[in-house]
Amino acid sequence: MELANNIVEINNLTKRYGNKTALNKLNLNIQNGKIIGILGPNGSGKTTLIKILAGILRQTKGEVIIDGYSPGIYTKSIVSYLPDRNFLYNWMNIQDAIDMFKDFYTDFDEGKADELLKFMKLDRDMKVDGLSKGMKEKLNLTLVLSRKARLYILDEPIAGVDPVARDQILDAIINNYEENSTMLITTHLVRDMEKMFDEVAFISEGEIILEGNADKLREEKSMQIDDLYKEIFG
Amino acid sequence: MNFDNNLPIYVQIGDYLKRQIISGKLKEGDKLPSVRDTSKELKVNPNTVQRSYQELEREKLVFTQRGMGTFVTEDKDVIKNLKKGYANEIIKNFMEDMKTLGFNSSDIIELVYEIIGEEK
């Protein structure tokens, strides 16, 4: 793997909360232009890892390099991050949310937002307060995918939404993936997402315990990624 | 389309396209949908779809024309061989299954005749 091809390089990354270790000398490289799945159960360290990449948590030790830089102002300008919970205020309507994103991010593409809103069947005058869980997730994803980012980080994009919304979310992700951007997606719902991944990395107790090309792993182990997940964590 | 077996996804997509060629849904010289469109339709990573197309090209079942897209081969023999390969595979599996159940070759032929007779 060539160095210049990695959009993300993580070396010996450690994060402790008091005496609890969330990430333990974790190593992971992510190639440019790929969709990578970070797979692990709740509490395995996925969200901690992602929050460090998104620049909202600091590591205890180790190194994270995104497009040549440590997480900070520059990386935030090229990373579009979907947190694992709703990040919008209840008093907002969808128009307010779009205005907020336009203010914050110069790479926000309003045309793309319009397309996605239509696809998700959301209107600009709907209030965040009145949206169902699935609709909130769809709105959050719409905002995140409307940025022309180099790296999209999606934390559990389909957790807790109904199957129809789930399909719409998966469609939106595939339709908006471009070859010169990279997507990092965490999930424990492997069955629904495995055909979307180029690469997968299994995370357990703050360490990557297995990683590789998804189709290659399927071939080598003669099982689906979902079954492999169950074997590892079951 | 469900990708519910243990084969790599690119192999499963290849199989899906080969079956379309065999059944004539995709005819000689027909343009395949773009990698993007197939990716959207099957909800599969476009890089994986790309790999399936490359494999089909390696097997000479399709060819790519720069800037135009990917097309089904116009070589009838290639398609005939593909059909035959699939038929052989299906019959081989069927024979093995029947033999484990204790039927011998002539039993099997007799049964097949009987069933074809009923269909008519």
Which pTM was predicted? Answer: 0.88
Average pLDDT of the segment spanning B75-90? 95
- Chain A residue with CA closest to B37: the answer is A175
ipTM of this complex prediction, to 2 decimal places: 0.81
- Give strand ranges (E) for B19-73: 62-65, 69-72
Pick A196's closest partner by Cβ from B4, B6, B45. B45
User: A35, B8: Cβ pair inside 8 Å?
Assistant: no
Q: Is the pLDDT of residue B88 over 90?
A: yes
Residue B108, both tokens? 């099997």
pLDDT digits (tens, 9 = 90+) for B14-51: 999 999 999 999 999 999 999 999 999 999 999 999 99
Select the residue of B4, B9, B39 nearest A174 (Cβ to Cβ).
B39
A54-84 confidence digits (pLDDT tens): 999 999 999 999 999 999 999 999 999 999 8
Q: Domains of chain A by range and CATH?
A: 3-85+144-233 (3.40.50.300)
**pLDDT mean across residues, chain B:** 93
A175: nearest CB among B40, B42, B51: B40
* A9, HSE (Cβ side, Cα atoms, 13 Å): 13
B73, HSE (Cβ side, Cα atoms, 13 Å): 20
What pLDDT score does A4 carry?
55
Task: Kindly report the backbone phi and psi dihedral angles of residue A164, in degrees, each rounded to the nearest multiple of 5, phi listed first.
Answer: -70, -45
When pLDDT is averaged across residues A36-41 and rounded to a whole number, the result is 96
* Residues in chain A within 8 Å Cβ distance of B7: 218-219
Contact (Cβ atoms closer than 8 angstroms) between residue B10 and residue B48: yes
Mean pLDDT confidence for A159-174 = 90
CB contacts < 8 A (A, B): 54
Nearest CA in chain A to B48: A198
Chain B hits for A222, Cβ within 8 Å: 6
Please answer yes or no on whether A35 and B45 come within 8 Å at the CB atom: yes
Residue A126 pLDDT exceeds 80: yes
Non-local CB neighbours of A209 within 8 Å, separated by 6+ positions: A202, A203, A232
Question: Which chain B residues are closer than 8 Å to A215 by Cβ?
Answer: 8-10, 48, 51
* CATH number for the domain whose boundaries are B9-74: 1.10.10.10
Q: Closest-CA residue in chain A for B52?
A: A215
Does B1 contact chain A (CB < 8 Å)? Answer: no
Domain positions in chain B: 9-74, 77-119
Name every residue whose Cβ is closer than 8 Å to that of residue B29 and which is 6 or more positions away in sequence.
B71, B72, B74
Q: How far is CA A3 from CA A29, A74, A92, B89, in A?
A: 9, 20, 43, 45
Tell me what the pLDDT averaged over chain A comes to: 93
